[in-house]
Structure 1
Amino acid sequence: MASHVVTTLWISRLVSHSALVNLAESEWTRWSTGMHLLVTDPAALSAARAIVDTVLDDVEDAASRFRPDSEICELAAAGGVRTAVSPVLADLIDAALAAARWTDGDVDPTVGSAMIALGYDRDIADLDPSTSRLGSVTIPSDWSMVEFDGRSVLLPAGVLLDLGATAKALAADWCAQRVQVRTGSGVLVNLGGDIATAGAPPNGGWHVLVQDTDDDPPCQIALGAGTGLATSSTCRRRWWRGDDLVHHIVDPRTGRSADPVWRSVTVAAASCLAANTISTAAIIRGHRAPDWIATLGIAARLIDRTGAVRTVGKWPQS
């Protein structure tokens, strides 16, 4: 039987436990969001969870903006000195710069200082969204400032990387791929709405309910093997800055939250990294996003500020 998973950008829960007769699952909270692991071979669950935890540990050590001992915080403190990086951070930076090139700079890994200026200077769980926070002036970003040779990085003084638009999605891809290779089980990994699958899915596929907020129209879709799904939202991770309600997706050209033309954009692609890159860029591109996504031949579902739904490409309705 098919599995049924509800996913929002931050929360995952099961629709029907009866559908999971031949599956095993693990759910937990990390990075202030819900994590969910499903495997088609119940005997593989313990090993699969250990693999996922190791990947998440490595990514957090490399790329957490909220840990002063992380590699990206050490890079920011290097004061313009070229610094060697771990293979994990090298892969994360490489992916982030590739996303920046591919989206003409819409997805920019140098928005860390702009995030802080907007008030996102701590873990979202510690940030009171109802409290006004006064940041400094807005700070435009430019990913071309990053000098990266595959093993070391040079950042101008004052530049802080924020890999949030790509790192969690790439982590989902890594988790799914490594679980499948090492255990042979079919797997779905959901890291707070960043979903990746690998290996043979259950009969009928992985059934996922896409719904960003409780008042958004729901949509159930079926995912096969080797698929990524990601949602970018302007309704989650938001807070007050002075008299302005801001959110975490920054337009790098202005240093401000992107105009919330879309409440959310969900993209299905060949990898979670590709899906999240496109969904993030779509939020930033606003009204231009549907036509751009159509040229990519990618399936997407966009919900505008009124709650109206627009789909692009062969959206995988179940």
Structure 2
Amino acid sequence: MRRTKLYMDTVVDIHVATVRPKEEADAAIERAFSAFRKVEDACSRFHPDSELMRACRRIGVPVPVGPYLFEPLRFAMELADWTNGVFDPTVGGTMEKFGFNRRYLTGDIADNPSDASAAYQDVEMDVRNRTLLLRKPTVIDLGAVAKGFAIDLAVRELSPFERFIVNAGGDLFAGGADGRYNVWNIGIRHPERRDESIQTVDISNEAICTSGSYERISAAADGVHHIVDPRTKRSPNVWVSCSVIAPYAMLADAFSTAAFLLGEEEALSLLEQAELRGVLVKPDLRIVKVGGM
């Protein structure tokens, strides 16, 4: 069974192979899609009425938030702390200035106030009371964690089935084995030739997510794409593609972005410390592998 819907500005494709009743699989697939809707409603900075953007409009006061926002934001904040701000979810204001501010459903341009000096240290999260407090006007961007979080929630609904894939625009989790009862063989997109793979990897019950400089290019500034270094306010060019394999999609999603923001030695060290595997591609298309790949 295969179903496709549009969520989070991307095509979400769910494929399930099972001997269980079709009705059971159909119901699980719908619950999996529902997870994407809930995460989008909570985490999108392109929806003015999302839970995230409502919270961003309240400065200096604790705002109670639900788990579909609190959990991915808490993870993003932990990674920001671990990388000393190289990965920083408060980069949303900078991204909007570079033109990544168009609401994809309506085409309207978002114009959210933000303080250029805001950083992750200006975000306070209370785990006990599940609240979010912003000390400065800040546009939080969860693009590097929210999709992975949604994939993981969808996987939870599909885990009873023998074989399945949740693919959200190329970021995916492959459960079980493929139709030949082998591991899944997944292609990593070629940075220059959209319909080709530059490398394939074998995975089973794992996620693989890719961050690349070729996907979204700024129309407002030369040399800027949708991955922006919060320290320099520019896009790094050490890599053109970073793919990370992890037990969970949110891990793979976030660490592929964090690795992209780092130099070669630092990126490889980060993935090794996290005990993750990676396939990273240089601008000259040289492939660098880490974690026993």
Q: TM-score, normalised by structure 2?
A: 0.86
Between the aligned partners of 2:188 and 2:51, the Cα distance in structure 1 is 34
| Separation in structure 2 between the aligned mates of residue 34 and residue 281 of structure 1, nearest angstrom | 24
C-alpha change, 1:236 and 1:287, in structure 2 (3 Å) is same
Which residue of the partner structure matches residue 253 of structure 1? 231
Count, aligned residues: 279
Query: Structure 2 regions of 5+ residues with no counterpart?
Result: 108-112
**Structure 2 residue aligned with 1:149:** 126
In the other structure, the counterpart of 1:29 is 6
Query: CA offset at residue 157 of structure 1?
Result: 3.5
- Structure 2 residue 73 is matched with structure 1 residue 96: no
Q: Summarize the Cα distance change of 1:78–1:140 in structure 2 as closer, same or farther, 3 Å threshold.
A: closer
SS in 2 for 1:110: helix
Contact 1:147 1:155 survives alignment (8 Å): yes
Q: Residues 121-160 of structure 1 correspond to what in structure 2 (within 5 A)?
A: 121-123=101-103, 139=116, 141-150=118-127, 151-160=130-139
Q: Percent identity?
A: 30
- Structure 1 unmatched ranges of 5 or more: 1-23, 128-135
Which is worse superposed, 282-291 or 138-147? Answer: 138-147
Q: Measure the CA separation in 1 of the matches of 2:286 and 2:50.
A: 41
| Structure 2 residue aligned with 1:167 | 146
C-alpha distance 89-292 of structure 1, shift in aligned 2 (>3 A): closer
Identify if the C-alpha distance between structure 1 residues 41 and 279 changes in structure 2 by more than 3 Å, giving closer, same or farther.
same
Partner SS state of residue 280, structure 2 = strand
The 10-residue stretch of structure 1 (87-96 or 214-223) with the greater mean CA deviation from structure 2:
214-223
The alpha-carbon deviation at position 105 of structure 1 amounts to 2.2
**In the alignment, what sits opposite 1:179?**
158
In the aligned structure 1, how far is the partner of 2:220 from the partner of 2:66? 35
Which residue type is aligned with residue 14 of structure 2?
Answer: L
CA distance in 2, matches of 1:138, 1:233: 27
Q: Deviations over 1:129-186 (max 9, x none)?
A: xxxxxxx999355212111113111112411111111111111111112221xx5443
CA contact (8 A) 2:17 2:161 kept: no
Match for residue 40 of structure 1 among 10, 14, 17? 17
State the TM-score, normalizing by the size of structure 1.
Answer: 0.79
Greater RCO, CA 8 A, separation 6+: 1
**Contact 1:263-1:305 at 8 Å conserved across structures:** yes
Partner of 1:310: 288
Per-residue deviation at 1:85? 0.7
For residue 212 of structure 1, report the CA deviation from its aligned partner. Answer: 4.5
The equivalent of 2:204 in structure 1 is 224
Partner AA of 1:309 in structure 2:
I
Tell me the CA shift for residue 103 of structure 1: 2.7
From the superposition, tell whether residues 148 and 292 of structure 1 become closer, same or farther in structure 2 (CA, over 3 Å): closer
Match in the other structure for 1:273:
250
CA RMSD in angstroms, aligned pairs only? 2.5
1:208 equivalent in structure 2: 186
- 8 Å CA contact 2:115–2:138 kept in 1: the answer is no
Contact 2:187 2:197 (8 Å CA) reproduced? no
C-alpha separation between the residues in 1 aligned to 2:183 and 2:162? 14
Residue 285 of structure 1 is matched in structure 2 by 262
Residue 199 of structure 2 aligns with an amino acid whose one-letter code is: C
Q: Find the residue that maps to 1:187 and give its secondary structure.
A: strand
Residues 139 and 247 of structure 1, relative CA distance in 2, 3 Å threshold: farther
SS at match of 1:251: coil
Alignment partners' CA distance in 2, 1:45 and 1:112: 38
Q: Secondary structure at the match of 2:140?
A: coil
- Give 1:193's aligned amino acid: G
Distance in 2 between residues matched to 1:80 and 1:88, nearest whole Å: 22
Q: Tell whether the 8 Å contact from 2:98 to 2:219 is kept in structure 1 after alignment.
A: no
Contact 2:244–2:279, Cα closer than 8 Å, also in 1: yes
1:189 pairs with one of 166, 169, 174: 166
- Determine which of 99, 108, 118 is the counterpart of 1:119: 99
* SS of match in other structure, 1:239: coil
Between the aligned partners of 1:196 and 1:65, the Cα distance in structure 2 is 24
